[in-house]
Amino acid sequence: MSKTWKANILNFNSNLELLEGELPKGVHVLNPFKGEFKERINIISEQFYSKYYNDSSERKLILGINPGRLGAGSTGIPFSDTKRLAKYCDMTIDEFSSHEPSSEFVYLLIESLGGAEKFYKDFYIGSVCPLGFAIDSTPGKIVNYNYYDSKPLEKAVTPFIIQSIEKQLDFGVNRKKVFCLGTGKNTKFLMELNNQKKWFEEVVPLEHPRYVMQYKRKQLELYLNKFILLLNL
């Protein structure tokens, strides 16, 4: 019998590693599974993936950019904060509180598609680059950084990205389509890789949830309807 999604995901996350020495100067790796709060994050992840991914069913793949500090960086689960995990997944986390605007959009989408149990049975959300980054902004302050925000960083992490995507394909991913969050640089990068590697028959671009919540909130229903239509095709 093949491994469950839960077993594959937890093993994948626990073995993620990028050495800062491989990266451009001033760029730091954000690895929630080996960072300061790894024990707390690993407990949350274990609970979440036990609840929704303890099977071997085929799922469609949705890829974000890379983890941010307030989403997967704090919970270990892409596009999930403590508010949404409590409200929609019945997972109350008392140790800390987090609010991530992208998570708000994603869970409105999840509810529109039948709720968490149905959604996570059909979809798996990951990231093009499963580790995040931060840079020194001003003395004593760091800010989130995307893998494509500088060409030297993008070049440095491309082998890691390829390896990571190929490992996740073996979890039971539907190879017909991959849904890419971020219609600009993230989709461009993934499409170029997919043209080389032939992982998926089609890369479907979707606006990044943060972009919608930050710049297009008045058109929220329009974007939700677009996502629902494309994810259901």
**Domain boundary assignment for the chain:** 5-232
Q: What is the structure's pLDDT at 6?
A: 97
Q: What is the structure's pLDDT at 138?
A: 67
Bridge partners of residue 28, in order along the sequence: 134
Residue 70 has pLDDT above 80, yes or no: no
- Interatomic CA distance for residues 98 and 58, integer angstroms: 31
Q: What is the structure's pLDDT at 56?
A: 96
Collapsed DSSP state (helix, strand, coil) of residue 186: helix
What is the largest distance, in Å, between two alpha-carbon atoms of the chain? 52
- What are the pLDDT digits (tens) for 157-189? 999 999 999 999 999 999 999 999 999 999 999
Residue 2 has pLDDT above 70, yes or no: no
Return the residue matching tokens 């998570």: 103
- Interatomic CA distance for residues 230 and 137, integer angstroms: 38
Name the band, by pLDDT with cuts 50, 70 and 90, for residue 140.
low
5-232 has CATH 3.90.550.10 classification: no
Q: What is the structure's pLDDT at 180?
A: 98
Answer whether 229's CB lies under 8 Å from 109's CB: no
Name the DSSP letter for residue 113. Answer: T
